[in-house]
Structure 1
Amino acid sequence: MSDGPLDDETLEKYREAGSVLREVLDEAAEKVEPGVTQLEVADFAESRIRELADGCAFPANISVDEEASHASPGRDDDTEFGEEMVCLDCGVHVDGYIADAAVTVDLSGNPELVEAAEEALDAALDAVGPGVQSGTVGAEIEDVIRGYGYTPVLNLSGHGVSQWDAHTGPTIPNRGTERGVELEVGDVVAIEPFATTGRGKVTEGSKEEIYSLERDRSVRDRSARNVLEQVKEEYKTLPFAARWLDDPRAEMAVKRLKQQGILHGYPVLKEDDGELVSQAEHTVVVTEDGCEILTA
């Protein structure tokens, strides 16, 4: 939770991150069309972020159809977009201060599913303010999505962001709950409704391309040591993509570091096969009279 209102310098860094992210998301979303590869869009978004800000808060997530989160193309991935539901989720940091936002591009012919997530986000933002329970915000999200005849993804949630930490408290559920936390002035939160045609529960898939530093310890293997040094220097505690690593044997090094508990992996989270998931997300700072949307 917050320590009170943000100081001017910190708030400006969040605002800068949010402004860059809005620009990049809009540009990247326009590139999502049949025949374009996922890697082309991810590379474009990440390159633009590095050009305009201090860096990516996490790899570009490109989730298709039943995928909901943590999907990102591999180094040599040549997968092209087809007639699919495409969620594009990106993060920007300025001096470690993070903005996180997502849009859904519908190539599948299911615009109402996209609209459900967007309307749920709008309702959630209207509800945010100091003293409001996180479960109350979740109830707004759930009501809108169920009103469209879809299901919110119940085991994914919005979250706080802080310096060098892309996922911290408070948690903003995508359903109404009696238990929760009270939002406070100065809280910076990413609110991200997910709407699905499925049962509303995601599980881990087999694909894994995103990692983060779990703990630092000495390693013998030279390649693993090179990877660890790059991670600590360039990404610190922020998630990174295996394809970002310079070492030609990075894939094996990452596996070793994960086995040793040094790196944490993020498997793709997905709904049941054949279902569709849409997502909408903004990062906001809670203010005295509601919230300021950083990524609008």
Structure 2
Amino acid sequence: MNIVIKTEEDIAKMRVAGRLASEVLDFITPHVHAGITTEELDRLCHDYMVNVQGTIPAPLNYCPPGYTPYPKSICTSVNHQICHGVPGPKKLKNGDIINIDITVIKDGYHGDTSRMFVVGEGSLAARRLCQITYEAMWIGIEQVRPGATLGDVGAAIQRFAEGFGYSVVREFCGHGIGQKFHEEPQVLHYGRPGTGVRLEKGMIFTIEPMLNAGRREIKEMPDGWTIVTKDHSLSAQWEHTVLVTDDGYEVLTVSAGTPAKPERAAMAV
């Protein structure tokens, strides 16, 4: 496994890319409301990335082996869509939940982050799923330090999520990131403590748990990209890009509008 340990120069550039990705989410937040289409959200984000930030939208035309090129600049996953939802003409309505996933490229380095949004008031069940998924991400982040393992991260997320009756999607995971969009290692959101890759200072990867309100089984839609829950239950995801430091971690995808770390994450360590 070829894990790239980042230099101080790499890290400085990843901080910039991470902040810029997060600032796209700050920018789009007031536009997420009933009546707007996900296609319009994509257009707004694309214009902001290209014309204001001078960044490249990494998803646009991204084409891993076995896929057709991704046709949009962001991913918008609504309600039972788990990840990689392709923006389109359908309008958001009150009560919807949506994950907006942003990856920008700045000076050759990738910044990758996503947030959940509740359209209008939202049901108690939907808001709870979004909140617990956010806390699960942070509980995973809190495991990150030199000498810990990726199994520690996954096990902490799984234990916390399943404790609330949610299931963890297993087919998609976090990933190393840097000058490439997806690098080693794969960061599973389930597992056993003490197993897997041992963390070292200078590693950078995403932690991005996907939790379903129902069963964990998934289905791919005919567009070849959008992944949904097989039982049509709601799904939520949050994502940060994380650096392993001398004695812990640094979250790189932070901006003025980034939600604060939840209290429960610190207490659970």
- Is TM more than 0.5 here? yes
What are the within-5 Å matches in structure 2 for residues 106-185 of structure 1?
A: 106-107=118-119, 108-109=122-123, 110-163=126-179, 165-177=180-192, 179-185=195-201
Name the residue aligned to 1:282. 240
Please give the secondary structure, in 1, of the residue aligned with 2:117.
strand
Q: Distance in 1 between matches of 2:188 and 2:38?
A: 29
Q: Distance in 1 between matches of 2:108 and 2:47?
A: 17
Higher Rg: 1
Pairing partner for 1:294 from 249, 252, 258: 252
Q: Is the 8 A contact 1:86 1:106 kept in 2?
A: yes
Pairing partner for 1:67 from 81, 89, 100: 81
What are the within-5 Å matches in structure 2 for residues 72-87 of structure 1?
A: 72-73=86-87, 77-82=88-93, 83-87=95-99
What are the within-5 Å matches in structure 2 for residues 1-296 of structure 1?
A: 1-8=2-9, 10-50=10-50, 51-58=52-59, 59-73=73-87, 77-82=88-93, 83-107=95-119, 108-109=122-123, 110-163=126-179, 165-177=180-192, 179-208=195-224, 267-296=225-254
> Cα offset for 1:30?
2.5
Q: Distance in 2 between matches of 1:202 and 1:167?
A: 21
Q: Distance in 1 between matches of 2:129 and 2:217?
A: 16
Detail structure 1 runs of 4+ shifted over 6 Å in the superposition. Answer: none
AA aligned opposite 1:71:
G
> Cα offset for 1:56?
1.3
Q: Distance in 2 between matches of 1:45 and 1:3?
A: 30
> Cα offset for 1:80?
0.6
Instruction: Give CA deviations for 1:222-266 in whole Å, capped at 9, x if unaligned.
Output: xxxxxxxxxxxxxxxxxxxxxxxxxxxxxxxxxxxxxxxxxxxxx
> Cα offset for 1:43?
1.1
AA aligned opposite 1:125:
I
Instruction: Give CA deviations for 1:85-106 in whole Å, capped at 9, x if unaligned.
Output: 2111110111221111010112
> Cα offset for 1:5?
4.8
Q: Is the 8 A contact 1:2 1:184 kept in 2?
A: no
Please give the secondary structure, in 1, of the residue aligned with 2:196.
coil
Please give the secondary structure, in 2, of the residue aligned with 1:149.
coil
**TM-score (norm. length: structure 2):** 0.81
Q: Report the structure, 1 or 2, having the larger strand content.
A: 1
Distance 1:5 1:162, change over 3 A: closer
Please give the secondary structure, in 2, of the residue aligned with 1:207.
coil
Q: Is the 8 A contact 2:215 2:231 kept in 1?
A: no
Instruction: Give CA deviations for 1:27-62 in whole Å, capped at 9, x if unaligned.
Output: 213311110111111111122122214311223000
Distance 1:180 1:81, change over 3 A: same
Distance 1:126 1:5, change over 3 A: same
**TM-score (norm. length: structure 1):** 0.74
Q: Distance in 2 between matches of 1:285 and 1:2?
A: 13
> Cα offset for 1:147?
2.0
AA aligned opposite 2:56:
G
Q: Distance in 2 between matches of 1:98 and 1:19?
A: 10
> Cα offset for 1:2?
4.3
The alignment-based identity, stated in percent, is: 30
Q: Is the 8 A contact 1:2 1:186 kept in 2?
A: no
Distance 1:199 1:273, change over 3 A: closer
Distance 1:53 1:19, change over 3 A: farther
Q: Is the 8 A contact 1:202 1:270 kept in 2?
A: yes
Distance 1:287 1:202, change over 3 A: same
Distance 1:181 1:32, change over 3 A: same
> Cα offset for 1:3?
4.9
